Amino acid sequence: MIESLKQRCELFVVNREIMKNNFKWDNSMLYPLCASLYAANGLEVDAIKIKKCKEIIKKKTGMFSYFRGTTFLALATMLSLEENPEDKFEKIFDVYNQLKKKFHTTTFLTVAAFVVVKMVEPCEYDRVITKAKDIYIKMKKEHPILTSSEDCGFAVMFAVSDLSVHRAINEIEKCYSLLSGKFFSSNAVQALSHTLALAEDSAEVKCNKTMDIYNLLKEKNCKYGTGMELATLGVIALATDNVEQVVNDIVEVNEYLQSNKGFGALGTGKSLRIMYAGILVANEYSNKFIIQTMNTTVINSLTSILIAQQVAIAAAVGASAAAASSGS
């Protein structure tokens, strides 16, 4: 394992322990997610800032608000990484209320509001939200049974991108068609298709690379989860063209995590552990990509990667919640 990736893994493990020690009454399935958010920025978790951000959210929202639901700790963690979290949350809450006028309220809409505020200028909020609704309507038309409230978040992420409504839907359907039947859950395949559609490569290239990564991991006894974790496999596919290297890195990171307390069968569990190994590796590759490239085309690609990483956050929340539910 290269030194920079090893340091990222060590930081991730330290961060998870900090989360565990400071947020005992929160959903423990979100500890690694929050740890990865800080590790992605090369930072050790600041528990004091996260607690302050939880109070900021509480101050603005009611007891039964979705902001205090499944995503509460994750949102507080994301907010704590901002320079002015109180002002940022004011904007997030306002955008969330605007989104509620177009969509049914859902946990994933809170993450979507964060994405809009993070990546869009205030003067563009209305346009992006309207575009998101248009995309969602067309998603629903293509897959009336599969498309549900959780896909509102994906629609917002597409609206933030430079993809036109027509191209977004076209790319999603191409990817879905190519991946359909490869995995048991059609809903997970749809989420993966959403992630892959954000990249500029052809649907064939993106899907083939994703399946190559999945199959090679399986051969190495490191089978990737096929539930909501599957969406994050698309993030990994977007982060690199070197399939063999990325697979070897994920296997090594998974082995490293497994050797640490809290990442075994009684902790994070195998499927989520491998997912986080993939996220850590994807962050490593994405950061290198940022450092090494500067031209306009690459900047557009990086925007897609950043959006895809927000997809990973939404997928991680969903996978963690599902795992917690099945274990209760």
* 200 phi, psi to nearest 5 deg: -85, -20
Segment 224-232 mean pLDDT: 84
- Rounded CA-CA distance 251/183 in Å is 21
Q: What is the pLDDT of residue 111?
A: 84
Q: What is the pLDDT of residue 228?
A: 75
What are the angstrom distances between the C-alpha of 65 and each of 57, 97, 157, 305?
10, 12, 22, 30
- Rounded CA-CA distance 292/26 in Å is 39
| Residues 107-158 pLDDT 10s | 778 888 988 898 889 999 999 999 999 999 999 999 998 887 778 888 888 8
By CB neighbour count within 10 A (0-12 exposed, 13-18 middle, 19+ buried), where does 276 fall?
buried
Asked if pLDDT for residue 84 goes beyond 80, the answer is: yes
Would you say 244 and 216 are in contact if contact means Cβ atoms under 8 Å apart?
A: yes
Nearby residues of 314 by Cβ (< 8 Å), 6 or more positions away: 108, 111, 150, 153, 154, 231
Q: Average model confidence (pLDDT) for the chain?
A: 85
Q: What is the pLDDT of residue 311?
A: 61
Question: Does residue 29 or residue 213 have the better pLDDT?
Answer: 213
The tokens 């590790």 sit on which residue?
39
Question: Does residue 19 or residue 1 have the better pLDDT?
Answer: 19
Asked if pLDDT for residue 305 goes beyond 50, the answer is: no
Q: What is the pLDDT of residue 322?
A: 56
| Residues 3-13 pLDDT 10s | 999 999 999 99
The pTM of this model reads: 0.86
Q: How confident is the model at residue 296 (pLDDT cuts 50, 70, 90)?
A: very low
- Rounded CA-CA distance 318/190 in Å is 14
Residue type, 8: R
- Rounded CA-CA distance 12/275 in Å is 13
- Rounded CA-CA distance 150/166 in Å is 21
The tokens 């039964």 sit on which residue?
64
Q: Diameter of the chain by CA atoms?
A: 50
State the CB neighbour count (10 A cutoff) for residue 119.
16
Nearby residues of 176 by Cβ (< 8 Å), 6 or more positions away: 143, 189, 190, 193
Q: How confident is the model at residue 82 (pLDDT cuts 50, 70, 90)?
A: very high
Q: What is the pLDDT of residue 323?
A: 54
Q: How confident is the model at residue 328 (pLDDT cuts 50, 70, 90)?
A: very low
| Residues 34-46 pLDDT 10s | 898 899 889 999 9
Segment 214-225 mean pLDDT: 95
Which residue spans within the chain are E strands per DSSP? none
- Rounded CA-CA distance 85/78 in Å is 9
Q: What is the pLDDT of residue 269?
A: 81
Segment 61-77 mean pLDDT: 88
Q: What is the pLDDT of residue 317?
A: 62
| Residues 271-285 pLDDT 10s | 889 988 998 998 888
**% residues pLDDT > 70 (the chain):** 87
Question: Does residue 251 or residue 195 have the better pLDDT?
Answer: 251
Segment 301-311 mean pLDDT: 48
Q: What is the pLDDT of residue 114?
A: 87
Nearby residues of 215 by Cβ (< 8 Å), 6 or more positions away: none
SS3 306: helix
